[in-house]
Structure 1
Amino acid sequence: MKTVLLVCSFGMSTSFITKKMNDLAKEKNIPLMVYAKSENAIETELDKVDCILIGPQIAYLEEKIRQRVNGRVPVECVDATSFGRMNAAAILKQAIRMIKSQNN
């Protein structure tokens, strides 16, 4: 089972999309679990995750988050349009691509 951390300002706006992503992964038998936390919890969650997605509302923190993670897992921002439309399929594909790129 792979694990994706979706971070935002307070971990609240991402809760809807994480539910949709988890439901979709389960429906498609994809061994992946997504959960949301505030960006200030990254260090405590880092050893538990295979990639980190950044909510578009804090995309301006991407470089600082990359520095904090220091290459231990892939880090990317979620596309604002996909996030705004709650396009769980697109965001799930992004997470899977990130995890696969780490394993190569």
Structure 2
Amino acid sequence: MKKILLVCNAGMSTSLLVTNMEKYAKKENIEITIMAVPLTQVDSVVKDWDIVMLGPQVRHCLNQIKNIVDGRIPVEIIDMRDYGMMNGEKVLKRALELLDNEKV
């Protein structure tokens, strides 16, 4: 089962996105674990996840997060439009696409 970590300022704005991603995963029978955390907790939890996706509001921390994961897992900024629309389907599809590309 894949594990997707979403990161934002307080971990609250992404909770609706997590819900929408989980709804789409359930509809498509995709086994996935998704969690949102505030930026301040990334260090302590990131080692347990397969991918980190940053909310657009913390895009300035991309290099910091990449340094923390040290190339072990993909890190990407969530598309601003998809984030604003809380488009769980598109965000989940993008995460899965990145994870599939890691296998190649």
Q: 2:70 maps to which residue?
A: 70
Q: 1:26 maps to which residue?
A: 26
The answer to whether residue 49 in structure 2 is matched with residue 49 in structure 1 is: yes
Tell me the CA shift for residue 62 of structure 1: 0.7
Give the secondary-structure state (helix, strand or coil) at the position aligned to 2:19.
Answer: helix
Q: Is the 8 A contact 2:4 2:35 kept in 1?
A: yes
The answer to whether residue 8 in structure 2 is matched with residue 4 in structure 1 is: no
Q: Is the 8 A contact 2:47 2:69 kept in 1?
A: no
CA distance in 2 between partners of 1:95 and 1:32 (Å) = 11
Give TM-score, length-normalised by structure 2. 0.94
Tell me the CA shift for residue 39 of structure 1: 1.5
Give the secondary-structure state (helix, strand or coil) at the position aligned to 2:23.
Answer: helix
- Unaligned regions of 5+ residues in structure 1, if any? none
CA distance in 1 between partners of 2:41 and 2:22 (Å) = 21
- Unaligned regions of 5+ residues in structure 2, if any? none
Give the secondary-structure state (helix, strand or coil) at the position aligned to 2:90.
Answer: helix
CA distance in 2 between partners of 1:4 and 1:22 (Å) = 11
Aligned-residue sequence identity (percent) comes to 34
Tell me the CA shift for residue 29 of structure 1: 0.5
